[in-house]
Amino acid sequence: MSEAAIDTSGMKVTDEVVIEIQHMHKWYGEFHVLKNVNLTVNRGERIVICGPSGSGKSTMIRCINRLEEHQQGHILVDGIELTNDLKNIDAIRREVGMVFQHFNLFPHLTVLENCTLAPIWVRQTPKKDAEEQAMHFLSKVKIPDQAHKYPGQLSGGQQQRVAIARSLCMNPRIMLFDEPTSALDPEMISEVLDTMIELAQEGMTMLCVTHEMGFARKVANRVIFMDGGEIIEQNEPEEFFTNPQSERTKLFLSQILNH
Amino acid sequence: MTDVTEQNYPPGKHPSLPPPRNMTGWHVWIWKNFFGSITNTVLTFLSIFLIWQIVPGALDFLVFDSVVNAGSRAECREIADGACWAVIVERFEQSIFAFYPEEERWRVILAFILLFPTVGILLFDGFPARAKLMKFTIAYPFIAGWLIVGGWGLEPVSTDKFGGVMLTLIIGVTGITLSLPIGILLALGRISKLPAMRIVCVAFIEFIRGVPLITLLFVASTMLNYFLPPGVQFDLLLRVLIMVTLFASAYMAEVIRGGLQAIPKGQYEAADAMGLKYWQSMRLIILPQALKISIPGIVNTFIGLYKDTTLVIIIGLLDVLGIMKTALADPKWNGLPEEVYIYTAIFFFVSCFAMSRYSLYLEKKLHTGHKR
């Protein structure tokens, strides 16, 4: 990732609300993980979520595509409410792509098969079209030449880029990133972040749990700080980093920035 | 370590060199494996001594002093005092077909020959025109069943005429092909989120696993008649097939459950996040990986089941072991247990070894680079 400022002309936040979380609570057994979370995301927003471990940031974005179930409150994605109705869950999952910390590629399938699986089986795309599209996105993440290898033969950075391409093949309207660079060797982080920046420049709505503050400054239009299952503070990146409001945020920032 | 010719290269320019000469080659391998340490050397000489003690005598008995053409045990003994293979020669056909009528045996042979392309199509993905021929593998059980049992234009043969290798193969192949899918369903049921499904599967698996196969076979041969409405005749062989299949399925379910548990949670989550439905993610993502991990256990269960088929002797069915034991009771051949049991053992060993080799081949083929 170069230090130069990036072209932000493609990043436009619209008025259209794509995710709405209202008074959301979640418990793991007796443990209250998410407490009264309220969040509205407009199309085109790039939101970075940070906070200490155990603060509920991953759990929150995993609630958005129902990998975790919330017990109280409402979550609306693209106007569809997440309930126990499988039809709604399926509809939302088709529109929301997700990238995981540990990539979660399917090790028994080639890179290309990883990318075409969901389009073929979920969207009923003909195999040939799905492969063409997969090659398009693999070129975009700059690894078309690895298409016929198995994930186990790639480096961590390459695997994570495949995972991003795999999500993009479903043409999602929203992308969730759950600590996408935390499991990578330092020299591979930037290739993944570059891919994510490119995605942001094309106007993708992104929610990203990460501690890459350089990425947050460059790309995010909003940074959210969570602690103890609550959203403590949210602001534009410049304001957030230079002028944090709460003591908790100040402490957190001093810990991750000054070492 | 011998010649330290340390050359100097500038940093970052050191080439990859071949290993020192005394590290590779067959003589190094022999030296390391047979004489590498005092223990190894002692064991090597001990093994050579044992081989020298056992092998010549065994070869004399099995090959050099053996008799192939003779009419009875007494005749054998007159010719030489090695193994009397004549008993196997005389009983060979019976060991395969048992009491199956002689003029109809071509049907069994045909069914047996057809088994090979079927197995080939199923097991080797390089088989020519495999996708089209898959239909044939589905039809095979019906074709084979029709050929062997008869009806629809063929002379019907009662199942109590079945026995020998043929019976072993019928029970073994049926049990193996049915226990895998049933085992998969039971394993998925056992880890299902639906409590009712889980309880039913756990109860079934634990009950079947908790009872010896012999008990189940007795149930099949005697008690099942009490449960069925009077007048309903249920073929004994069919009952045995059901029991053996259920027994193997319970074991199979646990083997596959082990494989399912080894799949990281992330695989399920990735499949979910992509919008795949339950059966899609099981079929496309989870099971291919879980089954691959379970191959050694699955084949283990197959081999166990295959050898357990000899237990049917207890309810009066004569499998290959049972039919050969009748030869021992024949006054003409009385007193030749070694020959008979060696023959039976070779038959089982060849079948089981083939399964074991196939499992290794499959493991190698499905290996896709290093695990993350």
Segment B322-364, tens digit of pLDDT: 888 888 888 888 888 888 999 999 999 999 999 999 889 888 8
Query: Which of A103, A107, A159 is nearest residue B289 as measured by Cβ atoms?
Result: A107
Strand order in the sheet with A31-42: A31-42, A17-28, A72-77, A80-81
Under the banding of pLDDT at 50, 70 and 90, the label for residue A258 is low
DSSP codes, A159-181? HHHHHHHHHHTT--SEEEEESTT
Residue position matching structure tokens 């534009």: A236
Say whether B6 sits in a helix, a strand or coil: coil
Q: Residues of A with CB below 8 A from B292's CB?
A: 108
CA nearest B224: which of B245, B240, B212?
A: B240
Q: How confident is the model at residue B161 (pLDDT cuts 50, 70, 90)?
A: confident
Cα(B205)–Cα(A242) distance, integer angstroms: 62
User: In degrees, to the nearest 5, what angle opens at C-alpha A36 toward C-alphas A33 and A42?
Assistant: 110
Helix ranges, chain B (H): 26-35, 38-59, 73-79, 86-97, 105-123, 130-149, 164-190, 195-209, 213-218, 224-227, 236-261, 265-273, 278-281, 287-308, 320-329, 337-366
Instruction: Provide the pLDDT for residue A4.
Output: 60
Judge: A67–B273 Cβ closer than 8 Å, yes or no: yes
Q: Considering just the CA atoms, what is the radius of gyration of chain A in Å?
A: 18
The whole-number pLDDT of residue A97 equals 95
Q: In the predicted model, is pLDDT for residue B74 greater than 80?
A: yes
φ, ψ of residue B114 to 5 degrees: the values are -65, -25
Mean pLDDT value across residues A205-209? 96
Radius of gyration of chain B (CA): 27
Tell me whether residues A105 and B270 touch, CB distance under 8 A.
Answer: yes
In chain A, alpha helices (H): 57-64, 86-95, 111-122, 127-140, 156-168, 186-201, 213-219, 237-242, 247-257
Pick the residue from chain A with its C-alpha nearest to B279. Answer: A121
Does residue A257 surpass a pLDDT of 80? Answer: no
Question: In DSSP terms, which residues pair with A208 in a beta bridge?
Answer: A48, A177
pLDDT at B371 over 60: no
Q: How far apart are the C-alpha atoms of B75 and B83, rounded to whole Å?
A: 12
Q: Is the pLDDT of residue B26 over 90?
A: no
- % helix / strand / coil in chain A, to the nearest 5? 40, 25, 35
B372 and A122 within 8 Å at the Cβ level: the answer is: no
Please identify, in words, the CATH class of the domain defined by A17-257: alpha beta
Residues 6+ apart with CB under 8 A from B87: B73, B327, B333, B336, B339, B340
Would you say residue B143 has pLDDT above 50? Answer: yes
| pLDDT, mean of residues A31-54 | 94
Residue B368 has pLDDT above 80, yes or no: no
Please choose, from the candidates A129, A107, A111, A91, the residue with its C-alpha nearest in 3D space to the C-alpha of residue B277.
A91
Distances (CA, A) of A108 to A99, A164, B165, B276, B289: 19, 18, 38, 17, 7
Tell me, what's the pLDDT at B90?
87
Residues of chain A neighbouring B272 (CB-CB closer than 8 A): 65-67, 93
Closest residue to A152, CB basis, from B269, B288, B370: B370
**Residue type at B71 in one-letter notation:** G
Chain mean pLDDT for chain B: 88
> Quick one: average pLDDT of A221-249?
93
Position A156 scores a pLDDT of 93
Interface probe for B, chosen from A104, A113, A174, A176 (most Cβ of B below 10 Å), is: A104
Residues B301 and A220: their CA atoms lie apart, in Å, by 56
List all residues 6 or more positions away from B199 whose beta carbon is below 8 Å from its beta carbon.
none
Closest listed residue to residue A8, CA positions, set A164, A202, A140, A224: A202
Which pLDDT belongs to residue A47?
95
Task: Tell me the C-alpha distance between B326 and A137, whole Å.
Answer: 70
Of the segments B143-152, B264-273, B317-326, which one has the largest average pLDDT value? B264-273
Per residue in B265-291, pLDDT (tens digit) is 999 999 999 999 999 999 999 999 999
From the CB of residue A88, how many other CB atoms can be counted at a distance below 10 Å? Answer: 16
Contacts of B311 (CB under 8 A, 6+ apart): B213, B214, B217
Tokens of A200: 């942001």
The mean of the pLDDT values for chain A is 92
CATH of region B157-366: 1.10.3720.10
Q: Both tokens of residue A46?
A: 């790039």
Task: Name the residue among A121, A122, A152 with its Cβ closest to that of B368.
Answer: A152
The total of other beta-carbon atoms located within 10 Å of residue B54's CB is 10
Distance from the Cα of A151 to chain B's closest Cα (Å) equals 8
Q: Given this model, what pLDDT does residue B187 score?
A: 96
Among A122, A159, A166, select the one facing B276 at the smallest CB separation: A122
Fill in the amino acid letter for B6.
E
Chain B residues whose CB is inside 8 A of the A65 CB are 272-273
Q: What chain A residue is nearest to B370 in terms of C-alpha separation?
A: A152
Taking the C-alpha atoms of residue B264 and residue A160, their distance in angstroms, rounded to an integer, is 17
Query: Would you call B270 and A159 a contact, using CB atoms and an 8 Å cutoff?
Result: no
pLDDT digits (tens, 9 = 90+) for A76-113: 999 999 998 889 999 999 999 999 999 999 999 999 99
CB pairs under 8 A between A and B: 76
State residue B43 phi and psi, 5-degree precision: -65, -40
Query: Residue B293 in contact with residue B302, Cβ under 8 Å?
Result: no
Whether the per-residue pLDDT at B372 is higher than 70: the answer is no
Q: Please tell me which residue of chain B has the smallest CA distance to A121.
A: B276
- Residue that has been written with the tokens 């002689």 in this structure: B102
* Domain ranges within chain A, ordered by starting residue: 17-257
Please calculate the CA angle A209-A215-A217 and round it to the nearest 5 degrees.
105
Token pair for residue A74? 């409402």
Residues of chain B in contact with residue A98, where contact means CB-CB under 8 angstroms, are 270, 273
